[in-house]
Structure 1
Protein backbone atom coordinates (compact mmCIF):
# COMPACT_ATOMS: atom_id res chain seq x y z
CA UNK A 1 0.00 0.00 0.00
CA UNK A 2 1.24 3.47 -0.77
CA UNK A 3 2.13 5.83 2.00
CA UNK A 4 -0.49 8.43 2.86
CA UNK A 5 -0.26 11.82 1.21
CA UNK A 6 -0.41 13.19 4.75
CA UNK A 7 -0.24 11.66 8.20
CA UNK A 8 -0.81 13.69 11.36
CA UNK A 9 -0.81 13.02 15.06
CA UNK A 10 -2.93 15.57 16.86
CA UNK A 11 -2.91 15.94 20.63
CA UNK A 12 -5.84 17.40 22.55
CA UNK A 13 -9.39 16.49 23.45
CA UNK A 14 -11.37 15.72 20.28
CA UNK A 15 -14.38 18.01 20.07
CA UNK A 16 -17.63 17.18 18.27
CA UNK A 17 -19.17 19.66 15.87
CA UNK A 18 -22.77 19.78 14.84
CA UNK A 19 -25.01 20.21 17.83
CA UNK A 20 -26.20 23.80 18.03
CA UNK A 21 -27.87 25.66 20.87
CA UNK A 22 -29.90 28.84 20.61
CA UNK A 23 -29.33 31.57 23.21
CA UNK A 24 -32.02 33.89 24.64
CA UNK A 25 -31.53 36.32 21.72
CA UNK A 26 -31.97 33.63 19.10
CA UNK A 27 -28.32 33.36 18.07
CA UNK A 28 -26.98 29.87 17.35
CA UNK A 29 -23.71 28.59 18.82
CA UNK A 30 -21.87 25.30 19.17
CA UNK A 31 -23.00 23.24 22.14
CA UNK A 32 -19.52 21.82 22.77
CA UNK A 33 -16.82 24.14 24.07
CA UNK A 34 -14.27 21.57 22.83
CA UNK A 35 -14.92 22.22 19.11
CA UNK A 36 -12.83 25.36 18.68
CA UNK A 37 -9.71 24.10 20.54
CA UNK A 38 -9.89 20.78 18.68
CA UNK A 39 -10.19 22.41 15.27
CA UNK A 40 -7.26 24.67 16.14
CA UNK A 41 -5.16 21.66 17.24
CA UNK A 42 -5.88 19.80 13.98
CA UNK A 43 -5.21 22.89 11.89
CA UNK A 44 -1.96 23.59 13.73
CA UNK A 45 -0.72 20.00 13.33
CA UNK A 46 -1.58 20.07 9.62
CA UNK A 47 0.13 23.41 9.05
CA UNK A 48 3.24 22.15 10.89
CA UNK A 49 3.32 19.03 8.72
CA UNK A 50 2.90 21.03 5.51
CA UNK A 51 5.36 23.74 6.53
CA UNK A 52 8.29 22.02 4.81
CA UNK A 53 6.41 21.01 1.67
CA UNK A 54 6.51 23.99 -0.67
CA UNK A 55 4.86 21.96 -3.44
CA UNK A 56 1.78 21.07 -1.36
CA UNK A 57 -1.55 22.09 -2.85
CA UNK A 58 -4.89 21.42 -1.20
CA UNK A 59 -6.19 18.07 -2.39
CA UNK A 60 -9.00 18.50 -4.89
CA UNK A 61 -9.33 14.91 -6.11
CA UNK A 62 -10.97 12.00 -4.37
CA UNK A 63 -9.35 11.12 -1.04
CA UNK A 64 -9.63 8.48 1.65
CA UNK A 65 -9.43 9.79 5.21
CA UNK A 66 -8.71 7.44 8.09
CA UNK A 67 -8.98 8.78 11.64
CA UNK A 68 -8.50 7.05 14.97
CA UNK A 69 -9.64 9.17 17.89
CA UNK A 70 -8.13 8.37 21.29
CA UNK A 71 -10.42 9.44 24.12
CA UNK A 72 -9.84 9.68 27.85
CA UNK A 73 -11.73 7.14 29.95
CA UNK A 74 -14.36 8.55 32.31
CA UNK A 75 -13.43 8.50 35.99
CA UNK A 76 -16.26 6.10 36.82
CA UNK A 77 -14.44 3.38 34.83
CA UNK A 78 -11.84 3.23 37.61
CA UNK A 79 -12.02 1.97 41.16
CA UNK A 80 -11.82 4.12 44.28
CA UNK A 81 -9.71 4.01 47.42
CA UNK A 82 -6.95 1.44 47.20
CA UNK A 83 -8.27 0.47 43.73
CA UNK A 84 -7.92 4.00 42.37
CA UNK A 85 -6.18 3.85 39.04
CA UNK A 86 -7.34 0.27 38.41
CA UNK A 87 -9.84 -0.29 35.66
CA UNK A 88 -13.09 -1.90 36.80
CA UNK A 89 -13.94 -5.24 35.21
CA UNK A 90 -17.29 -3.75 34.19
CA UNK A 91 -15.63 -0.90 32.25
CA UNK A 92 -16.46 -1.12 28.52
CA UNK A 93 -13.66 -1.84 26.07
CA UNK A 94 -14.80 0.78 23.56
CA UNK A 95 -16.30 4.26 23.92
CA UNK A 96 -19.95 3.95 22.95
CA UNK A 97 -21.21 7.18 24.47
CA UNK A 98 -20.67 10.79 23.52
CA UNK A 99 -18.99 12.28 21.61
CA UNK A 100 -20.60 10.89 18.47
CA UNK A 101 -18.10 9.66 15.91
CA UNK A 102 -19.77 11.46 13.01
CA UNK A 103 -19.59 14.79 14.85
CA UNK A 104 -15.90 14.24 15.64
CA UNK A 105 -15.32 13.60 11.93
CA UNK A 106 -17.17 16.77 11.00
CA UNK A 107 -14.98 19.03 13.13
CA UNK A 108 -11.80 17.26 12.00
CA UNK A 109 -12.61 17.48 8.29
CA UNK A 110 -13.49 21.16 8.59
CA UNK A 111 -10.13 21.78 10.28
CA UNK A 112 -8.33 19.92 7.48
CA UNK A 113 -10.08 22.18 4.99
CA UNK A 114 -9.15 25.30 6.98
CA UNK A 115 -5.49 24.18 7.05
CA UNK A 116 -5.37 23.72 3.28
CA UNK A 117 -5.14 19.94 3.32
CA UNK A 118 -8.43 19.55 1.45
CA UNK A 119 -10.07 21.95 -0.98
CA UNK A 120 -13.37 21.00 0.63
CA UNK A 121 -14.57 18.13 2.77
CA UNK A 122 -16.69 17.02 -0.19
CA UNK A 123 -13.54 15.49 -1.79
CA UNK A 124 -13.62 12.77 0.89
CA UNK A 125 -14.88 9.80 -1.13
CA UNK A 126 -13.89 7.15 1.40
CA UNK A 127 -13.78 7.41 5.17
CA UNK A 128 -12.76 5.10 7.97
CA UNK A 129 -12.94 6.22 11.56
CA UNK A 130 -12.83 4.78 15.04
CA UNK A 131 -12.80 5.94 18.60
CA UNK A 132 -10.83 4.09 21.24
CA UNK A 133 -9.69 4.77 24.77
CA UNK A 134 -6.15 6.00 25.34
CA UNK A 135 -3.61 3.25 25.95
CA UNK A 136 -5.87 0.66 24.29
CA UNK A 137 -4.08 -1.34 21.57
CA UNK A 138 -2.33 1.09 19.24
CA UNK A 139 -4.15 4.15 20.61
CA UNK A 140 -2.29 7.28 21.63
CA UNK A 141 -1.08 7.62 25.22
CA UNK A 142 -3.03 10.87 25.62
CA UNK A 143 -6.27 12.13 24.01
CA UNK A 144 -5.99 13.09 20.36
CA UNK A 145 -6.13 11.49 16.93
CA UNK A 146 -4.03 9.93 14.22
CA UNK A 147 -5.20 11.18 10.83
CA UNK A 148 -4.13 9.69 7.50
CA UNK A 149 -5.12 11.03 4.09
CA UNK A 150 -4.57 9.11 0.85
CA UNK A 151 -5.13 10.27 -2.71
CA UNK A 152 -7.48 7.59 -4.07
CA UNK A 153 -6.05 7.91 -7.57
CA UNK A 154 -2.60 6.96 -6.18
CA UNK A 155 -4.05 3.83 -4.58
CA UNK A 156 -5.62 2.69 -7.85
CA UNK A 157 -2.34 3.19 -9.79
CA UNK A 158 -0.57 0.57 -7.65
CA UNK A 159 0.13 -2.77 -9.31
CA UNK A 160 -1.81 -5.62 -7.73
CA UNK A 161 0.03 -7.49 -4.97
Structure 2
Protein backbone atom coordinates (compact mmCIF):
# COMPACT_ATOMS: atom_id res chain seq x y z
CA UNK A 1 0.00 0.00 0.00
CA UNK A 2 1.18 3.52 -0.71
CA UNK A 3 2.11 5.97 2.00
CA UNK A 4 -0.70 8.24 3.18
CA UNK A 5 -0.54 11.84 2.06
CA UNK A 6 -1.21 12.85 5.66
CA UNK A 7 -0.88 10.95 8.95
CA UNK A 8 -1.25 12.13 12.56
CA UNK A 9 -1.93 10.79 16.02
CA UNK A 10 -4.20 12.96 18.16
CA UNK A 11 -4.32 12.72 21.94
CA UNK A 12 -7.46 13.68 23.85
CA UNK A 13 -11.00 12.50 24.38
CA UNK A 14 -12.81 12.17 21.05
CA UNK A 15 -15.94 14.33 20.99
CA UNK A 16 -19.03 13.71 18.86
CA UNK A 17 -20.56 16.47 16.79
CA UNK A 18 -24.12 16.58 15.58
CA UNK A 19 -26.58 16.40 18.43
CA UNK A 20 -27.97 19.79 19.32
CA UNK A 21 -29.90 20.90 22.39
CA UNK A 22 -31.93 24.05 23.03
CA UNK A 23 -31.30 26.14 26.11
CA UNK A 24 -34.01 28.01 28.05
CA UNK A 25 -33.76 30.98 25.65
CA UNK A 26 -34.25 28.68 22.66
CA UNK A 27 -30.69 28.90 21.31
CA UNK A 28 -29.11 25.73 19.88
CA UNK A 29 -25.82 24.40 21.21
CA UNK A 30 -23.80 21.19 20.93
CA UNK A 31 -24.98 18.52 23.35
CA UNK A 32 -21.45 17.27 23.97
CA UNK A 33 -19.01 19.52 25.80
CA UNK A 34 -16.22 17.36 24.31
CA UNK A 35 -16.73 18.60 20.73
CA UNK A 36 -14.82 21.86 20.95
CA UNK A 37 -11.76 20.46 22.81
CA UNK A 38 -11.61 17.50 20.43
CA UNK A 39 -11.81 19.65 17.30
CA UNK A 40 -9.08 21.89 18.73
CA UNK A 41 -6.87 18.88 19.52
CA UNK A 42 -7.25 17.53 15.96
CA UNK A 43 -6.68 20.96 14.45
CA UNK A 44 -3.54 21.63 16.49
CA UNK A 45 -2.07 18.17 15.80
CA UNK A 46 -2.71 18.69 12.08
CA UNK A 47 -1.23 22.20 12.08
CA UNK A 48 1.86 20.91 13.91
CA UNK A 49 2.32 18.19 11.27
CA UNK A 50 1.77 20.62 8.39
CA UNK A 51 4.27 23.12 9.82
CA UNK A 52 7.08 20.91 8.44
CA UNK A 53 5.72 20.90 4.89
CA UNK A 54 6.10 24.29 3.22
CA UNK A 55 4.62 22.87 -0.01
CA UNK A 56 1.35 21.61 1.53
CA UNK A 57 -1.90 22.71 -0.03
CA UNK A 58 -5.29 21.56 1.27
CA UNK A 59 -6.36 18.43 -0.59
CA UNK A 60 -8.94 19.28 -3.22
CA UNK A 61 -9.28 15.86 -4.81
CA UNK A 62 -10.94 12.57 -3.88
CA UNK A 63 -9.40 11.17 -0.72
CA UNK A 64 -9.75 8.16 1.53
CA UNK A 65 -9.80 8.93 5.25
CA UNK A 66 -9.02 6.25 7.80
CA UNK A 67 -9.62 7.05 11.49
CA UNK A 68 -9.30 4.75 14.49
CA UNK A 69 -10.67 6.29 17.67
CA UNK A 70 -9.37 5.07 21.02
CA UNK A 71 -11.82 5.37 23.91
CA UNK A 72 -11.36 4.81 27.63
CA UNK A 73 -13.07 1.74 29.06
CA UNK A 74 -15.83 2.51 31.58
CA UNK A 75 -15.08 1.62 35.21
CA UNK A 76 -17.96 -0.87 35.06
CA UNK A 77 -15.80 -3.11 32.82
CA UNK A 78 -13.45 -3.76 35.74
CA UNK A 79 -13.87 -5.80 38.89
CA UNK A 80 -14.00 -4.41 42.42
CA UNK A 81 -12.25 -5.28 45.67
CA UNK A 82 -9.46 -7.79 45.13
CA UNK A 83 -10.36 -7.86 41.40
CA UNK A 84 -9.96 -4.11 41.03
CA UNK A 85 -8.03 -3.37 37.86
CA UNK A 86 -8.93 -6.72 36.30
CA UNK A 87 -11.14 -6.74 33.26
CA UNK A 88 -14.41 -8.62 33.76
CA UNK A 89 -15.00 -11.62 31.51
CA UNK A 90 -18.27 -9.97 30.44
CA UNK A 91 -16.54 -6.76 29.28
CA UNK A 92 -17.08 -6.20 25.54
CA UNK A 93 -14.13 -6.23 23.12
CA UNK A 94 -15.34 -3.16 21.22
CA UNK A 95 -17.09 0.07 22.25
CA UNK A 96 -20.77 -0.19 21.37
CA UNK A 97 -22.14 2.70 23.39
CA UNK A 98 -21.95 6.44 22.85
CA UNK A 99 -20.28 8.33 21.31
CA UNK A 100 -21.62 7.36 17.89
CA UNK A 101 -18.92 6.66 15.32
CA UNK A 102 -20.53 8.82 12.62
CA UNK A 103 -20.64 11.82 14.98
CA UNK A 104 -16.98 11.32 15.92
CA UNK A 105 -16.13 11.30 12.19
CA UNK A 106 -18.11 14.50 11.65
CA UNK A 107 -16.17 16.47 14.25
CA UNK A 108 -12.84 15.06 13.10
CA UNK A 109 -13.38 15.81 9.40
CA UNK A 110 -14.48 19.36 10.21
CA UNK A 111 -11.29 19.85 12.23
CA UNK A 112 -9.18 18.53 9.32
CA UNK A 113 -10.87 21.10 7.09
CA UNK A 114 -10.27 23.89 9.64
CA UNK A 115 -6.57 22.93 9.81
CA UNK A 116 -6.15 23.02 6.03
CA UNK A 117 -5.68 19.31 5.45
CA UNK A 118 -8.82 19.14 3.30
CA UNK A 119 -10.43 21.90 1.24
CA UNK A 120 -13.77 20.58 2.44
CA UNK A 121 -14.98 17.34 3.98
CA UNK A 122 -16.94 16.75 0.77
CA UNK A 123 -13.69 15.57 -0.90
CA UNK A 124 -13.82 12.42 1.26
CA UNK A 125 -14.84 9.76 -1.26
CA UNK A 126 -13.91 6.76 0.87
CA UNK A 127 -13.98 6.35 4.62
CA UNK A 128 -12.74 3.68 6.99
CA UNK A 129 -13.23 4.13 10.72
CA UNK A 130 -13.47 2.27 13.96
CA UNK A 131 -13.71 2.57 17.72
CA UNK A 132 -11.35 0.70 20.01
CA UNK A 133 -10.72 0.63 23.71
CA UNK A 134 -7.30 1.67 25.00
CA UNK A 135 -4.64 -0.89 24.00
CA UNK A 136 -7.05 -3.29 22.27
CA UNK A 137 -6.05 -3.91 18.68
CA UNK A 138 -4.57 -2.25 15.64
CA UNK A 139 -4.03 1.51 15.98
CA UNK A 140 -5.44 1.55 19.53
CA UNK A 141 -3.49 4.03 21.65
CA UNK A 142 -2.38 3.94 25.30
CA UNK A 143 -4.73 6.85 26.05
CA UNK A 144 -7.87 8.22 24.37
CA UNK A 145 -7.31 9.83 20.99
CA UNK A 146 -7.20 8.86 17.33
CA UNK A 147 -4.91 7.76 14.53
CA UNK A 148 -5.82 9.59 11.32
CA UNK A 149 -4.57 8.82 7.81
CA UNK A 150 -5.54 10.45 4.52
CA UNK A 151 -4.73 8.98 1.10
CA UNK A 152 -5.09 10.57 -2.31
CA UNK A 153 -7.31 8.44 -4.54
CA UNK A 154 -6.52 10.01 -7.94
CA UNK A 155 -2.75 9.88 -7.58
CA UNK A 156 -1.92 7.68 -4.58
CA UNK A 157 1.82 7.56 -5.33
CA UNK A 158 2.19 11.33 -4.98
CA UNK A 159 3.53 11.67 -1.45
CA UNK A 160 3.39 14.60 0.91
CA UNK A 161 5.16 15.00 4.22
CA UNK A 162 3.22 14.82 7.42
TM (normalized to structure 2)?
0.95
CA RMSD of aligned residues (A): 1.1
Q: How far does the alpha carbon of each residue in 1:108-156 deviate from its partner, in whole angstroms, 9 at most, with x for none?
A: 0000000000000000000000001011023101000000000101238
Q: Which residue of 2 aligns with 1:128?
A: 128
Q: How far does the alpha carbon of each residue in 1:16-57 deviate from its partner, in whole angstroms, 9 at most, with x for none?
A: 000000001110000000000000000000000000101000
Q: Which residue of 1 aligns with 2:5?
A: 5
Q: Is there any run of 5+ residues in structure 1 with no aligned partner, and where?
A: none
Q: Which residue of 2 aligns with 1:144?
A: 145
Instruction: Spell out the pairing of 1:30-41 with structure 2 (5 A cutoff).
Output: 30-41=30-41
Q: Secondary structure at the match of 1:155?
A: coil
Instruction: Spell out the pairing of 1:6-21 with structure 2 (5 A cutoff).
Output: 6-21=6-21
Q: Is the 8 A contact 1:2 1:154 kept in 2?
A: no
Q: Which residue of 2 aligns with 1:95?
A: 95
Measure, in 2, the Cα distance between the counterparts of 1:31 and 1:8: 27
Instruction: Spell out the pairing of 1:49-88 with structure 2 (5 A cutoff).
Output: 49-88=49-88
TM (normalized to structure 1)?
0.95
Structure 1 stretches of 4+ with a deviation exceeding 6 A read none
Aligned length in residues: 157
Measure, in 2, the Cα distance between the counterparts of 1:98 and 1:58: 31
Measure, in 1, the Cα distance between the counterparts of 2:9 and 2:150: 12
Q: Secondary structure at the match of 1:70?
A: strand
Q: Is the 8 A contact 1:70 1:140 kept in 2?
A: yes
Q: Is there any run of 5+ residues in structure 2 with no aligned partner, and where?
A: none
Q: Is the 8 A contact 1:15 1:107 kept in 2?
A: yes
